[in-house]
A and B are shown apart, each in its own frame.
Chain A
Amino acid sequence: MQGNGSAGVVGNGNGAGEDLRIGVFICHCGGNISDVVDVKRVAERIRKLPGVVFSDTHNFMCSDPAQAMIEEKIKELNLNRVIVAACSPTLHALTFRRTLERAGLNQYLFEHVNIREQVSWVVEDPEAATRKAERLIRAAVKRIGHLAPLDKRRIPVHRSALVIGAGVAGLVAARDLAKCGMKVDVVERSPFIGGRMAQLGKVFPTGEDARPLLSKLIQEVVHDPNVTIFTSTEVLSSVGIVGDFRTKVRTTPRGVDARLTYVGNAIAACPEETISEFNYGLTKRKAIYMPHPNCYPQMPAIDWGTCTKCGKCLTAVGGKGIDLKDEPREVELHSGVIILATGYDPYEPLYGEYGYDVFPEVITLQQLWRMLDWEGPTGGQIQRGGKPIKNIAIIHCAGARQYQGISMPQPDGKVKDYCARTCCTAALHASLEVKERWPEINIYDLHQDIRTYGRGHEDYYKHASEAGVTFLRFDGHDLPKVEKDLRGEAPLVVKVIDQLTNGREIEVPADLLVLATGVVPHDISELIDMYKCAIGYDSFLLEVHPKLRPVELAVTGVFIAGSCQGPMDITECTAAAAAAASKAAAMIAHGQVEMEPFIAQVNEELCTGCRTCLVVCPYDAISRDESRGIAVVSTAVCTGCGTCAATCPSNAIVQLGFQDDQVLAELNALLDREAALVL
């Protein structure tokens, strides 16, 4: 593993072939480091190493004066390499790279040595810590001679965005982007936009009615000239890279147009029925339908899966406004960035899970909310099996915070072990709603914990207790059991080992059992393959970094908004969407994207075209130039993981910034004889 570049002379720093002139700057971090590491001694010993022309310490290297000092030293001593030994590179590497740039030195001729998180904070013995710090800096001195200046990758960005999903998150993202003057295409699979918000009835923490809020948002979006919305449309394929995505989409006709006047007649005339998704199966709907009275667009659509094209609707409306031809149209959308806002699905309990599907009295929280909706299927009445409801039991964490081996496994063999976050507050919100309307109903709330984390959420807990909701707490390892009540007091009885009464088994009667079900990502496997999305253990989309880059995917130019990233309430969804929009807008406004240059590079002399690397690249960034029989890396697609560099059996691929000779130089220095002395 030789690689290229020699330790002695610089592979053109800022001028080819000049000698190494390394500056080493060691940080006290106001005692965080210097209390343990004898930084002065390290600085002195490092100063003696070949190539090092400057080596000193500073109280706070990240401070403005210290950076000014670095800048000055670079110019004064004509340094061509800079090493900063301080905190973790994850925190300040960028800071110091900018310092180099300001001093007119290529920012990648820089090494960041972590002597705080990985030395002074973890090594007890000061002597040992000092030796380790020196050892690591020595390694950096050896490594840095092998660095060559690199340039960031810059790719022009087409001034438009594609938003996939027209739920509340997608709409907010679209609105915000449009407001910045960006062209936005919004693609929605269903014939109606607005997503699941309309299904919620009232929304916490304000208790407002969801629909007016949503309509307001929808109006903003649809009237913005920059926005084009494609309903009944799905993504077929996507090629290209950041700045230049070409997405093929297919639109199925609505079957209905603006000329349709007698909507009621048309719907009434339709003989075909299917269950209503909007009402979670509590009701049925026709093949030509509107999910709810004030859906958008305010015009029905034909569900071609159910429609038999019998034409009854057509005659019922006098042949105007309905077209039973359903040939889909395909178009290609050109966009610089992409925002995924594909949303969530409520967790569908397994057959028999807490008696679901077995006892008609068992429903989900979503269904309860549909019942509570005045305009809903039951006109706001709670009913199940005709009898009046006296006792309602609510079980939290149905399909959330489950334990392997305790809960029934999902088809994929896993259990839903994450917290779905929204259901606690939603459940309490529902209990309160019920108590307000029918104070005589007893509500038993069975939970593992109550997690009302958001602002104002805790009030729902408080008020629910005041309103007389009975709280019982179960242990996730010992789940409540749901059985037919043989004494006939109520249809069901829920047996729970109650932690609040030190583990007494309590039997709760239930005319209605509501499962506060969790949240799972909407199935978007094709999109995941298409955009090479990273997926978390919970199978939600995984951001690059939860703190530093919370709405970006590893694939540059693809952003995530809302509950496709994880369980969120509307507040959080809109916040995330706004964040994604601003990120995307910034990228478009800048006109180009800058990407780290740590990418794979093929040595054409050595490449044998053995194709091993082709199957390795997770992003299909490597292709084979058949004419020359060698591998070629797409610099824009490469994410710089370096896996191909490790793979190539001929060492024909290097990863810039992590080349074999660079890593080996570091390794040698850590292991050579002097290093042994400073262990």
Chain B
Amino acid sequence: MSTNGSEKKKVAMYWAASCGGCDISLLEIGPRILDLTAVADVVFWPVAVDFKYADVAAYPDEYIDYCFYNGGVRNSEQEEVARLLRKKSKTLVAYGTCACDGGIPALANLKSKQGIFEAAYLDNPSTVNPAKVLPQEITETPVGQLEIPKFYDQVLRLIDVVEVDYLIPGCPPQADRVWEAILALVGGVVPPRNKAVKVACTDKSVCDECKREKRKVKIKEFKRPHQVRPEPEWCLLEQGLICMGPATRSGCGALCTNADLPCRGCYGPSGTVEDQGTAMVSAIGSILDVTTEEQARAMLNQIADPTGTFYRFSLGSSYLKARK
């Protein structure tokens, strides 16, 4: 692996409101990670190497060549770090669906902050909290104040708070794709910047990668995954299982449908689509075998959770973004 420039690139990775799968996915490139260290110095990666906010703050602006930021912005600290890293990085990459589209944590945008606190700390079968104590940004103790970051009203995407050059979607992004992207980036082979260009994926939809056969039939009844054994080779959507494939960007290799399970849309919207949910509503609206409003209503009632399914990973990128 070679770089076009002589001296080594400086790379950073940061983990915000996400599960850690992104960092693990980066480890999935396996031994190749040693190749990476051959051509690039890791100058910030909290889960891996010993550099601190203070060091980053001390770097000159745009010192970092490529910064991979994974996770959404759920609290004040994550926003501060995002701004800091934007300042210090030539190229900022939103890594993983949480950073790109909010990911699963953004499902919290369907609920209120208060509701979340109540469910976690008050109204909960194992919680014992007679004094109704809730976490506070500042807590007084005999020895001094303790501080934890402010919990925001909703999950924001990286591009909601800073400018982003590239997006690498996926929950998590698939290692091989990522490796190609990293090679491209570090090798200097890159698409135009400052446009949040999606890389390490294609513009097409999961159906493009899915091996299952489409028989061009309309759906007569919706079923849920635990209610039916799908035919192995046949399109799951046509079998009445809500599958996000048609509305989902490809790049994953259609792994879930290979495991006989419908796609849940983890790579976010495909093509030029921004709002994955409404795209899916359009698709669903087009393939039902109904001729009357009654039939339509009946079939729609068979869909258990349209919002949570169509926006499973991308509520942060939806036009409406959150509950009122």
Residues of A within 8 A of B (CB): 1-3, 605-616, 629, 643, 646-652
Contact = CB atoms under 8 A, between A and B. Distances in A.
B204 interface: yes
B282 A646 contact: yes
Given A649-B279, A652-B271, A609 B286 contact: no
B286 A643 contact: yes
- Going nearest first, the 7 A-B pairs with the smallest beta carbon separation are A650-B271, A610-B207, A649-B247, A608-B204, A608-B205, A608-B208, A606-B271
B286 A651 contact: no
B274 A610 contact: no
A3 B274 CA distance: 11
B271 to A, nearest CB: 3
B272 A1 contact: yes
A647 B272 contact: no
Nearest to A644: B286
Contacts of A646: 282
B271 A609 contact: no
B283 A606 contact: no
Contact of B273 (A609, A615, A616, A650): A650
Given A629-B208, A649-B246, A649-B280, A614 B216 contact: yes
B273 A649 contact: yes
The residue among A608, A613, A649 with the most chain B CB atoms within 10 A of its own CB is: A649
B18 interface: no
Interface string B191-213: 00000000000011101100000
B274 A616 contact: no
A612 B279 CA distance: 12
Given A611-B216, A615-B216, A647 B283 contact: yes
Interface of B: 203-205, 207-208, 214, 216-218, 245-247, 250, 270-275, 279-280, 282-283, 285-287
Given A2-B272, A616-B286, 19 more contacts: A1-B274, A3-B272, A606-B203, A606-B270, A606-B271, A607-B204, A608-B270, A609-B207, A609-B208, A611-B214, A615-B216, A646-B282, A647-B282, A647-B283, A649-B247, A650-B203, A650-B270, A650-B272, A651-B273
A643 B283 CA distance: 11
Given A605-B203, A608-B207, A614-B216, A647 B273 contact: no
13 contacts: A606-B270, A610-B205, A610-B207, A612-B246, A615-B216, A615-B217, A615-B218, A615-B287, A649-B205, A649-B279, A650-B246, A650-B247, A651-B272
Contacts of B274: 1-2
A608 B286 contact: no
A651 B247 CA distance: 10
A193 B291 CA distance: 37
B272 A615 contact: no
A643 B286 CA distance: 9
B212 to A, nearest CB: 11
B234 to A, nearest CB: 13
Contacts of A610: 205, 207-208, 214, 245-246
Contacts of B279: 649-651
Contact of B286 (A2, A629, A647): A647
Contacts of A615: 216-218, 286-287
A2 B271 CA distance: 10
A669 B218 CA distance: 38
A664 to B, nearest CB: 11
Nearest to B208: A608
Nearest to A603: B271
A629 B287 CA distance: 20
B282 A649 contact: yes
A303 to B, nearest CB: 36
A615 B274 CA distance: 24
A643 B273 CA distance: 17
Nearest to B215: A611
A610 B205 CA distance: 8
B283 A649 contact: yes
A650 B205 contact: yes
A610 B257 CA distance: 14
Contacts of A650: 203-205, 246-247, 270-273, 279
B218 A651 contact: no
B47 to A, nearest CB: 35
A647 B285 CA distance: 8
The residue among B250, B275, B286 with the most chain A CB atoms within 10 A of its own CB is: B286
A606 B216 contact: no
Contact of A612 (B204, B271, B273, B283): B283
B33 to A, nearest CB: 32
Contacts of A2: 272, 274
Contacts of B282: 646-649
A606 B204 contact: yes
A216 to B, nearest CB: 45
A612 B286 contact: yes
Contacts of A609: 207-208
Contacts of A1: 272-275
The residue among A3, A607, A613, A648 with the most chain B CB atoms within 10 A of its own CB is: A648
Nearest to B270: A650
Given A615-B216, A649-B247, A650-B204, A606 B272 contact: yes
B271 A651 contact: yes
Contacts of A651: 271-273, 279
A606 B275 CA distance: 16
A629 B280 CA distance: 21
Contacts of A629: 208
A114 to B, nearest CB: 27
A611 B283 CA distance: 10
A534 to B, nearest CB: 14
Nearest to B202: A608
A47 B207 CA distance: 49
A85 B204 CA distance: 41
Nearest to A643: B286
Contacts of A652: 271
Nearest to B275: A1
Contacts of A613: 286
A608 B247 CA distance: 10
Contacts of A606: 203-204, 270-272
B302 to A, nearest CB: 19
B40 to A, nearest CB: 32
A608 B250 contact: yes
Contacts of A614: 216
A551 B250 CA distance: 48
A169 B207 CA distance: 51
Nearest to B204: A608
A651 B246 CA distance: 11
Nearest to B283: A649
The residue among A606, A607, A608, A651 with the most chain B CB atoms within 10 A of its own CB is: A608
Contacts of B247: 649-650
